[in-house]
């Protein structure tokens, strides 16, 4: 980026950056990335990963440069190779296929996603219809759906609710994708309750703490900003939800993968810039945004902290200790 170009000089000036906190990596993302990095250090390349380990292009590029090989389907993985399941989780059918192929599986599924899987199986065993609130085609939704496909119905929005038909309206439950907008999800749940008064839900919210915290942090600064920049990739659900939230707050907002995506016109008349990042975006990318803004004039950074995150997830047992071919992922206890 040549900041001496006329288009950049036209938007030069002093600015305040309102930095939302929490932002960037969450515990599940850090765990998933560390799984791949540890395997590369201990086993060497290649280490195969089904889908993107997390939804961020910079993370994928960094791991690929270290020897990680990202595949869409298991038939791209050589028999007997090491395979990592991404943070978004997989269906039992994918696990069975990996076992049939003799692949050495290391499961990097976020524990909070695994919780939703457990709930889906538990509700299905009771004979309930499970309304899965989420986005069609998202890897997390596909994985969760696969744990109880005959009992699960995908619900994407409020308008879907009126079209629902179930065997027994008194035996219905709902689960959610972990990275949804809190307010929009509440509207869908309210519509389900109005249609199905006996609706039950999970014992604790499925939308994860990190998604909720990042939305709360952005909400605290959005109305004070002239424009909001959200660092994250286009396939990152929680990053896209942040952009949508800022716009619902009445503030212009843009999703950027990195500083190269910033357009000078976005900064015209923007004396106060709100800045945050989705849970899969590396912190260094925000530092680069502040540096670029600093090339346009003096920048005052004001961090707004809404909560402190202390969550940590242990690595899977085959990664915590020297691995052997007999190592298996620890079984997940149903709740």
Binned average pLDDT, 10 residues per bin, the chain of 335 residues: 87 97 98 98 96 98 98 95 98 97 97 97 97 97 98 98 96 98 97 97 92 98 98 98 98 98 97 98 98 97 98 94 46 36
Which pLDDT belongs to residue 1?
77
Mind telling me the catalytic residues?
A: 140
Q: Where are the domains of the chain?
A: 6-25+209-305, 27-110, 112-195
Q: Is 88 annotated as a binding residue?
A: yes
Q: Is 57 annotated as a binding residue?
A: no
Q: Where do runs of H (alpha helix) occur along 147-249?
A: 158-161, 182-195, 209-222, 237-248
The answer to whether 102 and 68 have CB atoms below 8 angstroms apart is no
Which pLDDT belongs to residue 55?
98
CATH architecture of 6-25+209-305: 3-Layer(aba) Sandwich (3.40)
Question: How many other CB atoms are found less than 10 A from the CB of residue 39?
Answer: 24
Which pLDDT belongs to residue 184?
96
Which pLDDT belongs to residue 203?
85
Which pLDDT belongs to residue 321?
63
Could you tell me which residues are beta bridge partners of residue 68?
Answer: 47
Q: Is 249 annotated as a binding residue?
A: no
Q: Is 254 annotated as a binding residue?
A: no
* Length of the chain (residues): 335
Which pLDDT belongs to residue 331?
39
Residue with tokens 């307010």: 183
**How far is CA 173 from each of CA 37, 130, 133, 189, rounded to the nearest angstrom?**
38, 5, 11, 10
Tens of pLDDT, residues 10-30:
999 999 999 999 999 999 999
Which pLDDT belongs to residue 320?
85
CATH numeric code, 27-110 = 3.40.50.11270
Q: Which CATH class is domain 112-195?
A: alpha beta
Same-fold call for 27-110 versus 112-195: no
Q: Which tokens go with 205? A: 């919210």
Helix axes 237-248, 209-222, angle to 10 degrees: 30
Residue with tokens 């989780």: 89
Residue with tokens 């975006």: 281
pTM of the predicted protein model: 0.93
Q: Is 239 annotated as a binding residue?
A: no
């Amino acid at each position: 980026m040549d900041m001496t170009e006329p288009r950049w000089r036209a938007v030069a000036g002093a600015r305040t950056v309102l930095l939302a906190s929490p932002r960037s990596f969450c515990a599940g993302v850090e765990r998933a990335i560390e799984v791949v990095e540890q395997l590369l250090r201990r086993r060497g390349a290649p280490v195969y990963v089904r889908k993107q380990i997390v939804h961020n292009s910079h993370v994928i590029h960094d791991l690929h440069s270290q020897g990680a090989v990202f595949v869409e389907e298991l038939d791209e993985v050589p028999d007997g190779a090491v395979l990592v399941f991404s943070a978004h989780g997989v269906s039992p059918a994918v696990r069975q296929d990996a076992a049939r192929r003799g692949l050495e599986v290391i499961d990097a599924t976020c524990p909070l996603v695994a919780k939703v899987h457990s709930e889906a199986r538990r509700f299905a065993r009771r004979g309930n219809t499970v309304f899965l609130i989420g986005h069609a085609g998202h890897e997390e939704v596909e994985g969760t759906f696969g744990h109880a496909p005959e009992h699960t119905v995908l619900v994407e929005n409020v308008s879907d609710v009126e079209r629902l038909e179930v065997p027994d309206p008194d035996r219905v439950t709902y689960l959610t994708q972990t990275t949804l907008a809190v307010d929009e999800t509440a509207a869908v749940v309210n519509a389900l309750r109005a249609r199905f008064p006996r609706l039950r839900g999970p014992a604790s919210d499925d939308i994860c703490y990190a998604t909720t915290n990042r939305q709360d942090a952005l909400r605290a600064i959005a109305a004070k900003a002239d424009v909001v920049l959200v660092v994250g990739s286009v396939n990152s659900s929680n990053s896209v939800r942040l952009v949508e939230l800022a716009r619902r707050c009445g503030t212009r907002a843009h999703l950027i993968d990195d500083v190269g995506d910033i357009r000078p016109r976005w900064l015209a008349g923007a004396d106060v810039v709100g800045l945050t990042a989705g849970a899969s975006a590396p912190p260094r990318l925000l530092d680069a945004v502040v540096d670029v803004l600093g090339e346009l004039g003096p920048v005052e950074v004001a961090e707004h902290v809404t909560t402190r995150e202390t969550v940590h997830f242990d690595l899977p047992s085959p990664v915590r200790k020297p691995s052997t071919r007999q190592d298996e992922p620890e079984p997940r206890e149903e709740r």
